[in-house]
């Protein structure tokens, strides 16, 4: 079978490689991948950011996907051939302290699909039963491929934020996680605004508007003035930083109200700022990372209800047979959530 792999520690360097069809272990199921999404971390691998130095290359990437089980190991009991599934791609060890207290998303020994071992940009993938999640009836397979990032937004909003009906919410960054977070915060009753920069003006901010969200371009509009108008000079009750940029947190501090909350979702690297204003304003600074079983359940419900509009959100223009086009378009901000038809690899 073929898979799209990162093959060297340079920018780009994505190639189709040949792989043996996996044979599932006793506790694994073999999944035939149908659709797989492109995530910001996949783009980070494409550019080969420092966070991915641990990868052993070549590695087939991709972790947002859906498919059908075509074979099961002898010890698999919860799933059967023909079941449609997604994977919870941060695989906890099940033994460390965090796993023991139900915090598998921050497992001390976690391995990540598409980073620490071959991922979903290939025709078949063997997955431990404990990492599989069933897809409910009535969920479009292409939409199921974005359940994983939706679960991240669900955790950020429902589990880790205090968004309540009537709250004024700012989501910094109109990337995939930002637009999912914004839709979920709206579903929780928040009045939501999404901010972006000039690069987002071609595709991502207009996409936010098509999703029914109000937007601000922080570079071409009077940002402070707009924020004051939208919040009656009080500031936003909750600000989600999904930018993955060092400017995100300082900007959030400037726009959140005194006594408000900032939820950090994007991984920004290093940033420098004065922290005394957070203390003096008693601002709640909350981090949110990845997701767990209940977050996936919520994600499916949000998609089925239409609170998350996958039909508008998903971009199916791209192919794994010409993956550079998808990655370069994503990095230029001219798409938001590409989803690949993985069956094309069999052609």
pLDDT classification of 13: cutoffs 50, 70, 90:
very high
Query: What does the pLDDT read at residue 105?
Result: 95
- SS3 letters for 153-216? HHHHHHHCCCCCCCCEEEEECCCHHHHHHHHHHHHCCCEEEEEECHHHHCCHHHHHHHCCCEEE
The whole-number pLDDT of residue 51 equals: 86
Mean pLDDT of the chain: 96
Q: What is the pLDDT of residue 196?
A: 97
* 43-47, 179-183, 264-268, 319-323: range with lowest mean pLDDT: 264-268
The pLDDT assigned to 332 comes to 97
- Split at pLDDT 50, 70, 90, the class of 270 is confident
Q: What is the pLDDT of residues 144-195, one digit of tens each?
A: 999 999 999 999 999 999 999 999 999 999 999 999 999 999 999 999 999 9
Query: What is the distance between the alpha carbons of residues 338 and 58, in angstroms, rounded to a whole number?
Result: 23
Return d(Cα 42, Cα 48) in angstroms, integer. Answer: 9
Instruction: State the residue for tokens 């192919």.
Output: 319
Q: How many helices (H) and strands (E) does the chain have?
A: 12, 17
Half-sphere exposure of 234 (CA within 13 A, CB side): 12
For 272, counting Cβ atoms within 10 Å of its Cβ (0-12 exposed, 13-18 middle, 19+ buried), the class is exposed
- Distance from the first to the final alpha carbon of the chain: 10
Let me know how long the chain is. 347
Please tell me the predicted confidence (pLDDT) of residue 216: 97
Q: What is the pTM assigned to this prediction?
A: 0.96
116-148 residue pLDDT tens = 999 999 999 999 999 999 999 999 999 999 999
Residue 114's pLDDT band, with cuts at 50, 70 and 90, is very high
Q: Structure tokens of 278?
A: 């957070």
Strand partners, 18: 2
pLDDT at 269 (0 to 100): 80
Q: Are 183 and 308 in contact (CB under 8 A)?
A: yes
Element (H or E) spanning 323, and its range? helix 323-331
> In the predicted model, what is the mean pLDDT of residues 1-6?
97
pLDDT in tens, 98-107: 999 999 999 9
Tell me the percentage of the chain whose pLDDT exceeds 70.
100
Q: What is the pLDDT of residue 347?
A: 76
pLDDT at position 144, please?
98
């Amino acid at each position: 079978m073929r898979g799209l792999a990162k093959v060297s520690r340079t920018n780009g360097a994505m190639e189709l490689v040949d792989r043996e069809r996996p044979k599932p272990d006793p506790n694994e199921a073999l999944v035939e991948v149908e659709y797989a999404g492109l995530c910001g971390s996949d783009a980070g691998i494409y550019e080969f950011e420092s966070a991915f130095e641990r990868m052993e290359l070549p590695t087939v990437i991709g972790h947002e996907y859906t498919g059908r089980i075509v074979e099961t190991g002898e010890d698999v009991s919860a799933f059967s051939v023909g079941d449609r599934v997604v994977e919870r791609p941060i695989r906890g060890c099940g033994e460390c302290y965090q796993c023991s207290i139900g915090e598998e998303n921050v497992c001390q020994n976690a391995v990540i699909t598409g980073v620490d071992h071959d991922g979903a940009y290939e025709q078949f993938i063997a997955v431990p039963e404990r990492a599989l999640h069933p897809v409910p009836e009535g969920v479009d397979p292409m939409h199921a491929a974005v359940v994983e990032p939706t679960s991240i937004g669900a955790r950020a909003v429902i589990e880790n934020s205090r968004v309540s009906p009537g709250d004024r919410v700012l989501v910094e960054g109109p990337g995939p996680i930002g637009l999912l977070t914004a839709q979920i915060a709206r579903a929780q009753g928040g009045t939501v605004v999404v901010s972006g920069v000039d690069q987002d003006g071609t595709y991502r901010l207009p996409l936010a508007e098509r999703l029914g969200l109000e937007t601000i371009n922080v570079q071409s509009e009077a940002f402070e003035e707009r924020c004051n108008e939208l919040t009656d000079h009080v500031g936003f009750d909750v600000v989600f930083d999904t930018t993955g940029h060092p400017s995100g947190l300082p900007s959030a501090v400037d726009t959140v109200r005194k006594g408000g909350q900032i939820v950090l979702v994007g991984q920004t690297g290093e940033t420098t700022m004065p922290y005394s204003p957070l203390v003096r304003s008693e601002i709640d600074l909350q981090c949110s990372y990845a997701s767990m079983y209940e977050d996936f359940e919520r994600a499916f419900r949000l998609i089925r209800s239409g609170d998350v509009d996958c039909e508008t959100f998903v971009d199916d223009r791209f192919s794994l047979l010409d993956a550079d086009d998808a990655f370069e378009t994503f990095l230029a901000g001219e798409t938001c959530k590409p989803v690949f038809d993985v069956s094309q690899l069999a052609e």
